[in-house]
Amino acid sequence: MKKLKSLNPIAKVVLFAVLFAVSIYFLQPVEAVQPDEAKAKYDLSYIGYFSLFISLFVLFESFEFSLFVKILIALVLGVFSALSGLFDNTLLFAIKPVGSKIFMNCLTMALVPLVFSSILTGVTSLGDVKKLSSIGMRTIVYYICTTAIAIAIGLFFANLMQPGNLSKETRQQFEKQLADTASNKVKAAEENKQTLFEGLQAIFPKNILTSVSNAKPDMLQVIFFALICGIALLQIEEKHSQPIIVFFTGITEMTVRIIMMVMRIAPYGIFALISAQIAGTQNTEMLTALVPFSICVLLGLVTHLLVLNVTSLVFLSKYSPIKFFKNVKEVMITAFSTASSAATMPLTLEVAENKLGVKNEVAGFVIPLGATINMDGTALFQGISVIFLANVYGIDLTMADQLTVVMMAVMASIGTAAVPGVGIVILTMILVAVKIPPQGILFILPVNNLLDMFRTSVNVVGDMACSVYINSVTPDDTEKEAA
């Protein structure tokens, strides 16, 4: 490593270029006609994979780049690799497990103990159930308000731009190629659909071990159980509660350290995720037809990100927006790359506490709850999607219909937060409520995954902005004593 860093910059660039060129050669399209020759070419492609990641290692480790710059370079190289035609996209798609399995699994393996321990220690640090209820109420009200505003922003841009004016030929092409996929997603959404009351019932775990042992742990149940445990610890003698609190404080520190170790491989995992994501986007004609819709969504997300969050920071939190966005840039780009608030949450917690100055007990409660129920970007996307699909089917939505969209999306964002594939579930429910065929989701499928990366970034920034606000209205114990 030291020898690598001691090379002069030109030598470093040349070494990277040579290794990258080798990977291009071995990851070229298979042109052989004979199956045996094709198999041999695919076997040789492993040399290309190895050379590709070694070239990235040389680039990232030989220069003194910050984590943010490394991830940014990985994003650019991932997009370039998929779009340039230098690589066989089928082979490039094969490296997806490096990101979707290895990197994402490493990010989420410590998620449950981190959420449980951070909430439990956060509650006990407050030392007062009344203080906890005050923070909890403010947090939930903040999230509900920002979600409602996000949907309103989405509806505003969708009504203004009317992005769903597709030609008859384009509609037929979508229906021909994506009808089966859309039908399966609607069916899955129907199976997972819950009423608001059923969603609230699902918060209470029957067996917490079952909740955390599933392939997709139920984070709302984990949060609820951690809150109950924290409150219980406040009500027993200190000589009995203190060892438990110290133990879980150690668990929190340990899991955060694990995540910081995992983030060292983030650029490699993100490169694999992005290149595979772009390589898996096949039909450029469909993407072109959805450009107005995508622009509408992106405009809404940028407006929400900059206007609402900046307003909250300036007027509610009295916190510098420039300082805020400078400190959260790594979280934003990680959320964008992984398209998962849950996977990003350990990093979000670390940044909130160490860079934004949010108190441990506040961050430990607000961030996990936000990662579970706060879906500003998703809600905005759903608002635009409803208007878009109404345009496609020639349906005029009244003001009452659009108010229904706002109310249903806000309630569903909390009531169905623990349901897998929650975005499609909520959108399907809303479409049925305003009498739009739910199969219409086929028209947004080609860009759904790409836009999901932008939505997740907005969601995560909203979590951190909320933590800064709650922190600003939660006095320190030292301030309380001084008063």
Per-domain boundaries in the chain? 2-79, 108-482
**Which structure tokens are listed for 99?**
């990101």
Alpha helices per DSSP H over 280-398: 284-289, 291-303, 309-311, 321-338, 341-354, 360-373, 376-392
Q: The tokens 């929650």 sit on which residue? A: 422
Q: What is the pLDDT of residue 342?
A: 82
Q: What is the pLDDT of residue 159?
A: 93
Q: Return the HEC string of 438-465.
A: HHHHHHCHHHHHHHHHHHHHHHHHHHHH
CATH numeric code, 108-482: 1.10.3860.10
Collapsing DSSP to helix, strand or coil, 342 comes out as: helix
**Which structure tokens are listed for 431?**
């479409």
CB 107 within 8 A of CB 260: no
CA-only gyration radius of the chain, Å: 24
CB 351 within 8 A of CB 327: yes
Phi, psi of 83 (to 5 degrees): -95, -20
Collapsing DSSP to helix, strand or coil, 140 comes out as: helix
Q: Return the HEC string of 166-200.
A: CCHHHHHHHHHHHHHHHHHHHHHHHHHCCCHHHHH
Q: What is the pLDDT of residue 260?
A: 83
Q: The tokens 């650029």 sit on which residue? A: 267
Q: What is the pLDDT of residue 33?
A: 40
- Containing H/E element for 476? none
Q: What single DSSP character describes residue 202?
A: T
Task: State the chain's mean pLDDT as an integer.
Answer: 82
Amino acid in position 139: T
Report the distance separating Cα 97 and Cα 276, nearest Å: 9
Listed residue (452, 458, 450, 400) closest to 427, CA to CA: 452
Report the distance separating Cα 429 and Cα 414, nearest Å: 14
Listed residue (143, 139, 146, 166) closest to 380, CA to CA: 146
Q: What is the pLDDT of residue 42?
A: 54
Collapsing DSSP to helix, strand or coil, 339 comes out as: coil
Cα 365 to the chain's mean position, in Å?
18
Q: What is the pLDDT of residue 60?
A: 81
Q: What is the pLDDT of residue 209?
A: 84
Listed residue (200, 215, 217, 233) closest to 114, CA to CA: 217
Listed residue (273, 314, 237) closest to 106, CA to CA: 273
Q: The tokens 């694999």 sit on which residue? A: 272
Q: What is the pLDDT of residue 419?
A: 46
Burial 260-293 (b: 16+ CB within 10 A, else e): eebbebbbbbbbbbbbbbbbebeeeebeebbebb
Q: What is the pLDDT of residue 305?
A: 94
Q: Beta-carbon neighbour count of residue 335 at 10 Å? A: 29
pLDDT tens digits, 31-57: 444 445 545 555 566 677 778 888 888
pLDDT tens digits, 67-100: 888 888 888 888 888 877 666 666 667 788 888 8
- The list of the chain residues with pLDDT below 50 reads 30-35, 38, 418-420, 478-483
Q: What is the pLDDT of residue 206?
A: 86
Report the distance separating Cα 25 and Cα 47, nearest Å: 10
Q: The tokens 């990197």 sit on which residue? A: 103
Residue 373's contacts (CB-CB under 8 Å, 6 or more residues apart) are 143, 220, 413, 414, 417
Q: Beta-carbon neighbour count of residue 368 at 10 Å? A: 27
Q: What is the pLDDT of residue 40?
A: 52
Task: Give me the DSSP letters along 14-68.
Answer: HHHHHHHHHHHHHTS----SSHHHHHHHHHHHHHHHHHHHHHHHHHHHHTT--HH
